[in-house]
Amino acid sequence: MVDAKPDQNVPVLSFNLVMDILSKVEKFCRQEEPCKNAQRELDTMVEQNLFFLRASNDSEAESLKIMDEHVFVTAVLKFFFQFDADADATLCSTMFDRIFLPQERLEFRQAVLKQILPLLMLTAIDLDCVPVLQAFVPWMIRGCGGQPASWLKGCTQKVMSTYLCADEMDEYVARLAKMNTSCPTFAHTLLPLMINEQEYFEMIPLSALQLAADWLNEDPESVAKTIRLCLPPSDQSSQKLTLNYVDKLSWLCIVHDLSDDEQARPVMSKLRLGILKLMMRINEGIAEKSPTRKLLASTYANRTLIKISEYRNSVDAFDQKVTRAVDHFSQILQVGILNGCFIGQLQDFNTTVFQTFAYGHPLLDDILQKLRS
């Protein structure tokens, strides 16, 4: 990855130019001096140095463009390393606005976000640049042209694809675990987004699920808070992300049950408990008879049962793996009812699928009666 300093292959003048302009932007953001031409210089420098070769097909020009992007990212990281993550959080966020979000020229802004931010985030993760990581998520949530989830997801995909290509997912998860100490918001955002990505879903290592289980059990409030922070309740995406995260984690539990993966059993057991803790924390802020709470419960139950049903139909038998999966699911459902995760009649609940499993299974029979009462 990129070192946070210029090397012999990087034009020192370009590096120094970026650092000089960032210093001007910092002074303006600290209101130590008038803006003067700092913003115009920054915009011009970024446009000319990074994007003037965009239309060229020349391979040498393309390599120069990539080099220039690295110069820019390297300078930004080196500059931000001087800040204190907590004391200068507001300053970092304000500087992000000045660097990456010029208020005009939407096309240019989108180009910067798509091309530069993923590289910046990837390098910041590698170098553990706490000021950048600490400021990044709140800044993303607040800005980015009204599409915070989309841009954050795009950055996450870039980071994930880079590690996947290098077959380093376990290392990536280890970095997230380390980041949890200094940048919990950033770490707790990346893990759900990583697990939610369908494209890479089958490739999620057990270490990622272990990390999810640890966080959900040790600090479910932080995880729930991050979900609420990243996608406010007024945004339908908040509900979608929560449902997807619970859905994917639950689906993984069932998959491992059906695959009879002994190595994963302790992790899955802890993960199931963590799922319940997450749902209880999320439900604490939702009225008992709220459609949102009912939807969360019914979606979780429906999708889990359907997954078991699909497997059962494929083998045409109620074999030991299915029995174990149903046992685990019924335990979660029962504890969920007792702790208020599933309240009253669930209008969208797929009782037909549920009844298929309920008959002849005492615990599920009892749960079905509770749901009907």
Minimal CA–CA distance to 135: which of 108, 168, 100, 167?
A: 100
Spatial distance between the Cα atoms of 240 and 359, rounded to a whole number of angstroms? 32
Q: Tokens 């997450």 belong to which residue? A: 278
For CA atoms 23, 30, 114, 179, the dihedral sign is positive
Taking a C-beta distance cutoff of 8 angstroms, is the pair 194, 160 a contact?
yes
Q: Tokens 């990456």 belong to which residue? A: 100
Cβ neighbours for 79, distance < 8 A, ≥ 6 positions apart: 19, 22, 23, 26
pLDDT of residue 131: 76
Spatial distance between the Cα atoms of 366 and 83, rounded to a whole number of angstroms? 58
DSSP 222-258: HHHHHHHHHS-TTSHHHHHHHHHHHHHHHHHHHHHHH
Spatial distance between the Cα atoms of 226 and 187, rounded to a whole number of angstroms? 9
Cβ neighbours for 334, distance < 8 A, ≥ 6 positions apart: 363, 366, 367
Exposed, middle or buried by CB within 10 Å (0-12, 13-18, 19+), for 295? middle
CA angle 60, 66, 69 (to 5 degrees): 145
Residue 46: enclosing H or E segment and its boundaries? helix 38-51
Written as six digits, the tokens of 224 are: 């729930």
Written as six digits, the tokens of 58 are: 């020349």
pLDDT of residue 160: 65
Instruction: List average pLDDT for each run of 10 residues in the chain, which is 373 residues long.
Output: 43 64 77 63 60 43 54 79 74 76 58 68 76 70 53 65 64 74 67 62 74 82 64 51 67 69 79 74 64 58 63 59 66 59 45 51 58 55
